[in-house]
Amino acid sequence: MSSKKILIVGGTGYLGQHLLQAIQDSLPYTALSLAFTYHTNPPPQKLLQAFPHVLPFHLDLPTANAFDHISQDFGQPDVVVNCAALSVPRACEVDPTAAMSINVPSVLVKWLSSFSNGNTLLIHLSTDQVYEGTKSFYKEDDETLPVNVYGRSKVAAEQFISENCSNFAILRSSVIYGPQTVSPVPKSLPVQWMDSVLAKGDAMDFFHDEFRCPVYVKDLVTTVWTLTNRWISDREPMQLLLNVGGPDRVSRVQMAEAVAHVRGYNLSLIKSVSSSTVNRGVKSPADISMDITRLIQTLNMSPTAFRDGVKLTLEAEFASTS
């Protein structure tokens, strides 16, 4: 059997590195070739050392300067996982043009369409911020009415993929949390940040009126891996849209309380405030909790409860520093 090829676009980011780790761990048992793209040049040495059998390609998504190199040196991928995004809502608000050019993968889709056989599955990461945020537990078929540029760019991406791809899975991810990556990412990780501020013993404000369904990173990896294996084994094209969140609808206060319970911090350190008291330079949806029934039924999986995921995250952090 010929080696199957997987390309992670945005492989140096948080989810990208977790995917690289999981797929590399499977390489002794599966016939796979793996490659990733990176935007920061050069990629972190620590990452290259951790994944010595993985091909790296520099890629500037809007200009697509590397796709010819990928075709030549790696070949047509069986699966492309697109993790690349301008995902900080405020940055998207400041530069809507950049948000659209990076978050709508038009050049990537055009490259995939150049392979006339249609033998590539595109797994694209979207967001819960496509929803307006005026109710609880949004379903995939609910109307998308994003309140900020980031959400609008992600809706545009979903529409572009749906209209121009015949074989895709769009994953609307909530807040992703879990252990740090092999090559630490510069952005703040939610559970680790809450742990660090509560560890200082100082009172800290947390929002009580914004709700999400945070997803444990390894559940998101399992989702991608299951879809990848399904395509590789069955070769039945899919046009799939899934909410990918955890099973718990929680506010920032409840997230901090879970961290405090696991670590034994005093709950009085957590001060409950309204999100309306802070100007973040971007409008944020109030309640974009998601119904994940379709995810559970389609993939036959049991997502990790938030408090269990917090415990696993902090145990992994402790193990990495001890």
Q: How far apart are CA 96 and CA 102, in angstroms?
A: 10
Kindly report the number of other CB atoms within 10 A of residue 57's CB atom: 19
Q: Residue 28 pLDDT more than 90?
A: no
User: What are the tokens at 124?
Assistant: 């694209």
| Residue spans of beta strands (DSSP E) within 47-178 | 55-58, 79-82, 121-127, 168-173, 176-177
pLDDT of residue 1: 47
Handedness of CA 118, 142, 132, 259 (dihedral sign): negative
User: For residue 107, what is the DSSP state?
Assistant: H
Please state the rounded mean pLDDT for residues 250-279: 96
| Residue spans of beta strands (DSSP E) within 72-167 | 79-82, 121-127
pTM, two decimals, is: 0.96
User: What are the tokens at 203?
Assistant: 């009172």
Fold (CATH) for 4-178+215-245:
Rossmann fold (3.40.50)
Q: For the chain, which residues make up each domain, given as ranges?
A: 4-178+215-245
Which residues have a Cβ under 8 Å from the Cβ of 51 and sit 6 or more positions away? Answer: 20, 21, 24, 34, 36, 182
Q: Residue 9 pLDDT more than 90?
A: yes
Binning pLDDT at 50, 70 and 90, where does residue 26 land?
confident
Q: How far apart are CA 259 and CA 265, in angstroms?
A: 8
Q: Is the peptide bond before 190 cis (omega within 30 degrees of 0)?
A: no
